[in-house]
């Protein structure tokens, strides 16, 4: 069985998503199997690492399994905007100063 035109890109993006989420092949394979995936853990590992081809339906079940596990992960910390940061009571608010004010720039 040869690779379909989009299979290498689909595999690379799946591998990147799994790496970014720090999900292991056994975790993903178990979820894939729960969703009715037909490939064994060894075959899924070989597919993810680029040495085995899987049919489109099996690749999509695998992607769905990965996405379900990724959705269960806690969201990553995001950078706050200035308005989101709470000031400590008594903290000097330099944002209200204008150039030339005492103690200003």
pLDDT at position 40: 98
Asked whether residue 82 is domain-assigned, the answer is: no
pLDDT at res. 13: 96
pLDDT tens digits for 37-61? Answer: 999 999 999 999 999 999 999 999 9
Considering the domain boundaries, does residue 52 fall inside one?
A: yes
Count the neighbouring beta carbons within 10 Å of the beta carbon of residue 30.
14
Number of domains in the chain: 1
SS3 for 93? Answer: coil
- Answer whether residue 103 is part of any domain: no
53 contacts: CB under 8 Å, gap ≥ 6 = 1, 2, 3, 4, 7, 47
Max Cα distance, the chain (Å): 77
Q: Is residue 42 part of a domain?
A: yes
Q: State pLDDT tens for residues 72-86.
A: 999 888 888 888 888
- Does 98 fall in a domain? no
Does 95 map to a domain? Answer: no
SS3 per residue for 14-77: HHHHHHHHCCCHHHHHHHHHHCCCCCCHHHHHHHHCCCCCCCHHHHHHHHHHHHHHHHHCCCCC
**79 falls within a domain:** no
Identify the domain containing residue 29 by its residue range. Answer: 7-72
pLDDT range class, residue 1, cuts 50, 70, 90: very low
What pLDDT does 95 receive? 53
Residue 60 forms part of a structural domain: yes
């Amino acid at each position: 069985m040869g690779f379909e035109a989009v299979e290498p890109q689909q595999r690379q993006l799946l591998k990147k998503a799994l790496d970014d989420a720090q999900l292991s092949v056994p975790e993903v394979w178990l979820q894939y199997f729960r969703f009715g995936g037909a490939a064994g853990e060894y075959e899924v590992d070989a597919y993810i690492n680029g040495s085995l081809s899987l049919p489109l339906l099996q690749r999509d079940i695998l992607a769905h399994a990965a996405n379900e596990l990724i959705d269960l992960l806690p969201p990553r910390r995001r950078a706050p905007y200035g308005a989101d940061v709470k000031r400590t009571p008594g903290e000097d608010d330099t944002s209200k100063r204008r150039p030339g004010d005492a103690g200003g720039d």
